[in-house]
């Protein structure tokens, strides 16, 4: 049985991640702001949020991935994604944390290729890929997550932060990539993946249909702020 995840374990893992960052960047002589901001987000979690983390089965097994990821954006976005998994509040999601959820749901909407995944998330790219995906459903999921499409210019980087080996969703056991440029593989048996589906499914079927119809009739493309 794995140990309970605590703020002390998080602090230790982030300290190791920051030490690795400084070793990779000796000329900077400073700590990573992204790592510091990610840790500060964890520090602000309430007792109810920590209880929710335990209830979802997020335990101390993730600390090794935190310490070893080597990607500071993962450490910035991880608490945002965990906050969303616990609370269901999409406002917690920014950058690659939002991309992770949007693209996981796009896979559920039928995306089977990297081009289709990019088109579903950004509205840019090869429109022929719409043949393999329910675009209106994918857009409705985006609307349910705040209504902003992913920026096409930053999507490749955010996709990597979200899905690449050792990164955001891999640490949580939700999804991973075996090929850096390929499609993510979802772990649909993951309780955390089911938590994403649960939050989205809180929208009634009637509301989801209405969102789909509205999106299909009036495509609206607003852009997210740049950044991973």
What is the rounded CA–CA span in Å between residue 72 and residue 206? 40
**What pLDDT was estimated at residue 42?**
98
Write down the domain spans for the chain: 7-217
pLDDT for 203 = 59
Cα dihedral 95→97→100→102 (10° resolution): -70
How high is the pLDDT of residue 205? Answer: 56
pLDDT at 38: 98
pLDDT of res. 76: 97
Q: What is the pLDDT of residue 213?
A: 62
Burial class (CB in 10 A: 0-12, 13-18, 19+), 148: middle
Residue 147: the pLDDT is 78
* pLDDT score for 226: 59
Which parts of the chain register pLDDT below 70?
A: 1, 130-132, 202-226
Long-range contacts of 121-124 (CB under 8 A, 24+ apart): 121/149, 121/150, 121/155, 122/149, 122/150, 122/151, 122/152, 122/155, 123/149, 123/152, 123/219, 123/221, 124/152
Percent of residues, the chain, with pLDDT higher than 70: 87
Q: Which of 125, 134, 111 is nearest to 186 (CA)?
A: 111
pLDDT at 117: 87
Instruction: Using alpha carbons, list the distances in angstroms from residue 87 to 51, 52, 53, 181.
Output: 11, 8, 10, 32
pLDDT of amino acid 121: 87
């Amino acid at each position: 049985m794995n140990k309970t995840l605590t703020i002390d374990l998080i602090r230790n893992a982030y300290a190791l991640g920051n030490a690795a960052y400084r070793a990779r960047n000796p000329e900077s002589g400073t700590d990573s702001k992204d790592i510091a901001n990610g840790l500060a987000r964890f520090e602000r979690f309430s007792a109810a949020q920590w209880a929710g983390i335990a209830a979802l089965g997020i335990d101390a097994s993730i600390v090794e991935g935190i310490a070893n990821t080597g990607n500071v954006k993962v450490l910035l976005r991880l608490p945002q994604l965990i906050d969303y998994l616990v609370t269901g509040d999409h406002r917690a999601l920014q950058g690659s944390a939002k991309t992770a959820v949007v693209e996981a749901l796009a896979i559920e909407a039928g995306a089977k290729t990297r081009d289709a995944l990019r088109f579903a998330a950004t509205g840019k790219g090869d429109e022929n890929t719409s043949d393999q995906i329910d675009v209106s459903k994918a857009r409705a999921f985006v609307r349910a997550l705040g209504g902003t499409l992913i920026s096409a210019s930053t999507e490749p980087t955010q996709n990597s932060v979200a899905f690449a080996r050792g990164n955001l969703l891999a640490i949580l056991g939700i999804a991973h990539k075996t090929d850096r440029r390929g499609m993510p593989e979802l772990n649909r048996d993951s309780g955390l993946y089911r938590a994403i589906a649960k939050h989205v499914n809180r929208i009634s079927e009637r509301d989801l249909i209405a969102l789909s119809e509205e999106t299909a009739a009036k495509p609206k493309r607003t852009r997210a702020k740049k950044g991973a």
